[in-house]
Amino acid sequence: MISRRRLAGPLCVLALFALCHTAAAAEQGSTAPRPRVRLVATGGTISNRTGGRLTAEELVKSIPELDQYVRAEYEQFANESSSALSLEQWLQLARRINDLFRQDADLAGIVVTSGTDTLEELAYFLHLTVRSDRPVVVVGSMRNPSTLGYEGAANLLEGFRVAAEPASRNKGALVVLNDEINSAREVTKTDALRLQTFQTRSYGVLGVVDRDRVVYYRDVVKRHTAKSEFDVAAITALPRVDVIVTYQDAPGDLIKAAVDAGAKGIVLATAGAGATSGTQGEGIQYATAHGAVVVTTTRAGSGRIAARGGPVPERFGNREVSAEERQSFTQRVAGEDLAPVKARLLLMLALTKTKDPAEIQRMFTEY
């Protein structure tokens, strides 16, 4: 039988070796290079300080403890309100981000600042047009830098952390505000003023940014970014697509006017699960007869519009369905669960590739 005294010596040696190995590993981890993340600033409330907007450099310098997490880089793409940016600038921004990822294999991710009014639209556009599995994180703030309680620096810090996080890869464009991570496809602005405005109503957050780490709870299953078929490299302009809302006794002449003004697509924000009103049916027939693609979404804020299956009914109520109505119904595209403003973006990109309603329906199903 081996005595405790005879075991003490070897055990002490093993314990000392383990302690030294752990200390060395910790020292090695502390000196490992931090991931590089680039800020591409476009403006918005987050930079709209009284007396002059903050630059990309000033935004980075305002972030506390940033050096603990990343090696930050920055560039100024624009510096204005989100609603002032044009679709042409969006195309330029997507191309710039694609160029950055293509030219710099060591870049961990990109943070984009945006005004919150159209942030969800810009984020979804990048979700469809950035062709890399590395994260693009869109960040904004509800309060400006001259306001008590400005949360911009905190949101930026969390955006940089999410962009640097390896688990953020293959999730497409992400929206980070108020400690929460949402998918660009699903998130929407739900309140005009409150800090917790960006929410994913039906599905919940993708994850959270806590003091100790970035935590994900679910994944993004629809097509996006690296698997997207939309290449903006050669696109100089996007086709016009208008959004028209359904309300009681809505006139169809608004749809006709949009088509006559050059709209190649119409997104209807319908009542409930696809109901139109007034003479909108006539407007839809006019649109499809003139080659415009009509996509049906819901104004309800959540819910899915399913693609029509089976034959068009012979009658609606007490009247027969006309040949024009039949053709119109077969040419409509179901917008699935996309918000009207996001369905507009997908339809614009789809129309750069095809005008076939069946092919566009495939895209709405996959994206």
How far apart, in whole angstroms, are the C-alpha atoms of residue 194 and residue 150? Answer: 12
Active-site residue identified among 45, 246, 270, 276: 45
Residue 45 annotated to the active site? yes
DSSP-assigned letters across all residues of 89-110: HHHHHHHHHHHHHHH-TTEEEE
287 to 241, 255, 263: CA distances (angstroms): 12, 7, 9
- Triad 278, 283, 286: Cα angle to 5°: 155
Residue holding tokens 């030294």? 20
The H or E element spanning position 72 is strand 71-80
Distance CA 286, CA 328 (A): 9
Q: Which 8-state DSSP code applies to residue 208?
A: E
Report the distance separating Cα 299 and Cα 280, nearest Å.
15
Q: What gap in Å lies between CA 43 and CA 40, rounded to an integer?
A: 10
By annotation, the residues acting in catalysis are 45
